Amino acid sequence: MPSVGRTNFFYLLVALLILLIAIPLADDLDLISAPLVRGLVFSGLLIIGVWSLKGGGRHFTVGMAFAIVGVALNVVSIYMPAQVLQQASILALVGFMLVAITHTMKQVAIGSDISANRLVGAVCVYLLLGVIWAMVYTIIEMVSPGSFAGFSPMDDLGWDSEWLYFSFVTMTTLGYGDILPLSATARGFAYMQAVVGQFYIAVLVAGLVGAYVSRRNKN
């Protein structure tokens, strides 16, 4: 397996944190066009994310392909707002994140060494899962309007902070109840996300943290 640099997962974590912080701020502050902010963050996530896959062989090549297509579609959709372009750019982002998850999980789950980089990789996978589900919920609402209740009217096509909020609230099983899935498809993805989120935390992250702490205590 190709070696992965120590800072690779830190790059990906920074990109994800920027995504999760910049979009809500753009929605609240309304300083510049929210679609433009989302476009910039979208492109930045792909570019930084591709760098995190450097040295990943086939994963890097596939991730680069998704990134190129995603950035191109994203730029076009900013100036030509059309639902099909928005859906295509979202699918490109989902494709890239699936590649990133596959690559990261191989580095996190395989091997006996426990390092801070592997722990950061485990956090990245969790955040990637939340973002992926937010993208899926967006596409469901685009294809079948009315699949969710509690969302603000969508003035522009695409994803915003409400989708990210609902996704992570669902994955952590907080269940505030302010946003609800109504259609069978939306509910199905919601409960699958809750199950995946809980098992991921319980099985993988807890195991990695426990092993890391145990190793530090022995040294």
The answer to whether residue 142 is domain-embedded is: yes
Total domains in the chain come to 1
Question: Could you give the residue ranges of the DSSP H alpha helices within 80-115?
Answer: 83-109
Q: What is the pLDDT of residues 17-31, one digit of tens each?
A: 887 887 787 777 765
The answer to whether residue 119 is domain-embedded is: yes
DSSP assignment of 131-166 equals HHHHHHHHHHHHHSTTSEESPPP-SSSS--HHHHHH
Report helix, strand or coil for 111: coil
Q: What is the pLDDT of residues 127-154, one digit of tens each?
A: 989 989 998 998 898 888 889 988 775 5
Two structure tokens written together for 57: 């062989």
Tell me: pLDDT of 97 over 60: yes
The answer to whether residue 44 is domain-embedded is: yes
The answer to whether residue 166 is domain-embedded is: yes
Two structure tokens written together for 80: 């030509």
Q: Is the pTM of this model over 0.85?
A: no
The answer to whether residue 1 is domain-embedded is: no
The answer to whether residue 78 is domain-embedded is: yes
> According to the model, what pLDDT value does residue 1 have?
36
Question: Could you list the residue range(s) of the whole structural domain that residue 158 is in?
Answer: 8-218
The answer to whether residue 3 is domain-embedded is: no
In this predicted structure, which of 50-59, 125-134, 175-184 has the lowest mean pLDDT? 50-59
Distance, in Å, from the CA atom of 205 to the CA atom of 126, rounded to the nearest integer, reads 9
62 vs 5 pLDDT, higher one: 62
Distance, in Å, from the CA atom of 113 to the CA atom of 131, rounded to the nearest integer, reads 28
Average pLDDT score over residue span 106-124: 75
CB atoms within 10 A of CB 168: 20
Distance, in Å, from the CA atom of 80 to the CA atom of 13, rounded to the nearest integer, reads 31
The answer to whether residue 65 is domain-embedded is: yes
Return the ∠ at Cα 189 (arms to 193 and 80), rounded to 5°: 110
Tell me: pLDDT of 48 over 80: no
